[in-house]
Structure 1
């Protein structure tokens, strides 16, 4: 854990702790995924360069961070998106994103963490480097 870490109230303690440990000691901002309908449980498609979530309540879909920019067949090559799944067989998750921050406060890395709503299993299902700026807009795209 880093002294500058920031965690949204909506992130479960288990998932927040998991994401903090997975981040390599850099300061992070951890934000919870929340649908426009207020839903917090999602089906998630992931690959190495992005993630898209679908609310299990209303079916609304949204890309996480800048995933939409790379969510096409040209970018996928040998890494087509697949449905995230828990070892228990469930495909429904609480989702949160850890944004690793550089010294200037800009986002340098995006890590998508999921927590199974059935058994609490936590895992990193996608993460990618951000090598452009400005990056403030990413912090709201969870």
Structure 2
């Protein structure tokens, strides 16, 4: 879908939205659309070791937990507070309908009026065909939450 498509034009944008550098336009638009009219902060996943931006992702959408694996160095990192719930998780590898399992990965943090995180939404964009989707989301019901922004 092109940048001028009706889908993007229908997306409500909040004045306090923030999109991190390096998030593709397609993924940012998609994640913004699921924000329930709350401001969102969209943060890209970047490998801390080599700066890689392509990952395979393990998700458990029941527990609300995800772990990414860098396609370049195989380094692993939990997303947001997933490590706390991983022991009880039953993760599976995310896959695109085209068969690819490598993704651009970003997280949309839906924010409350006070700026604290209320929802974590994991969005993936297939590196092969560009398809985007939400692979897991979970509610945050504790505070403070600022540490979550650095855990993508």
- On whether the aligned pair clears a TM of 0.5, the verdict is yes
Among 32, 44, 52, the residue aligned to 1:32: 44
In the alignment, which residue of structure 2 is the partner of 1:58? 73
- Corresponding position of 2:99: 89
Whole-Å Cα distance in 2 between the matches of residues 100 and 119 of structure 1? Answer: 27
My pick for the range that moved more, 53-62 or 1-10, is 1-10
TM (norm. structure 2) is: 0.89
Among 4, 8, 14, the residue aligned to 2:20: 8
Say how many residue pairs are matched.
Answer: 137
The higher-RCO structure (CA 8 Å, 6+ apart) is 1
CA distance in 1, matches of 2:70, 2:28: 20
Q: 4+ runs of 1 displaced by more than 2 Å? A: none
5+ residue gaps, structure 2: 1-12
TM superposition shift of 1:23 = 1.7
The two structures, once aligned, show a CA RMSD in angstroms of: 0.6
1:135 aligns to 2:145 (yes or no): yes
Cα deviation digits, residues 64-108 of structure 1 (max 9, x gap): 000000001xx33xxx11000000000000000000000100001
> What CA deviation, in whole Å up to 9, does each residue of 1:2-33 have, x standing for no partner?
11100011100000000000121110000000
Which blocks of at least 5 consecutive residues in structure 1 are unaligned?
none
